[in-house]
A and B are shown apart, each in its own frame.
Chain A
Amino acid sequence: MALVIDPAGDEIKALREAGNWRGKHVLEVGCGDGRLTLRLAQLGARSILAIDPDAALVRGARKALPEPYRARIRYQVGSVERLRRRKDLFDIAVLSWSL
């Protein structure tokens, strides 16, 4: 299917203006195929945990993750409700089309 989402890049422009991403630990909830995850990394996030309940989408996102981002992005099957309490909490959480 030939589908291009947001060719003008308005979504990432709005996210850039929403806050300072540089060096931040980010949780992305509802990452899907990782379309937005890479863009968040490009904004300067130090680390991104990207979760989605759809295992097939997460597999696809992992497979498509470019090598330079592998140290910063981690994809995980799951939901925000099932994510364990962590010692290292997040600076920013993004509900990515998930509410």
Chain B
Amino acid sequence: MTHEGMVHALRQAHRLLKPDGVLIDLRPAAKHRQIGLGEGKRWKFVAWMREDLTDDRAANRSVRRAAALGLFEAEAKTEFDLDRVMDTLDDFREWMSDFPSGKLPPEDERLYGRVERALAKVRPGTRIVARGPLSLVVLRRLDGPTK
């Protein structure tokens, strides 16, 4: 979605909310994910995922634009890590293949290689965990665009 398309979507959300309604924008933060092994506190970093963050940054700009237009006012913002836990390298490949074309850089094979080598050094059954920050912004609906 383009920046303008995102601003349009925010206008449509504004249209569908009650006057004192709230919009919650929940999505991956514009930061790279980390791949590691092990769950919870046992998680150990293996490699960064260098995905293209252009769309994520455009989404941030569109929220700022919607605020500048007087559609919403940011009330709260938080970031927290979200883990995706995968059993095998094949699961990891399948998850990576779900990313839109162009979102991931062409050096994916190097990343697989690093994860595969790291997996070979730990006990069998250790899971692959992709850890990335999610952003949650609470936006209070305002009366409408300022002229």
> Which A residues contact B (CB, under 8 angstroms)?
1-8, 10-11, 13-15, 17-19, 27, 29, 79-81, 83, 85-86, 89-99
Contacts and interface: CB of A to CB of B under 8 A. Distances in A.
Contacts of A7: 39, 83, 85
Nearest to A4: B85
Contact of A18 (B16, B24, B91): B24
Contact of B138 (A6, A19, A83, A96): A19
Nearest to B25: A95
B82 A11 contact: yes
Contacts of A10: 80-82, 134
A90 B17 contact: yes
B18 A91 contact: yes
B136 A81 contact: no
Contacts, number: 120
Interface residues of B, number: 41
B101 interface: no
B102 interface: no
B24 A89 contact: no
Given A3-B95, A14-B134, A80 B13 contact: yes
A93 B9 contact: no
A99 B85 CA distance: 24
Given A95-B27, A97-B28, A2 B88 contact: yes
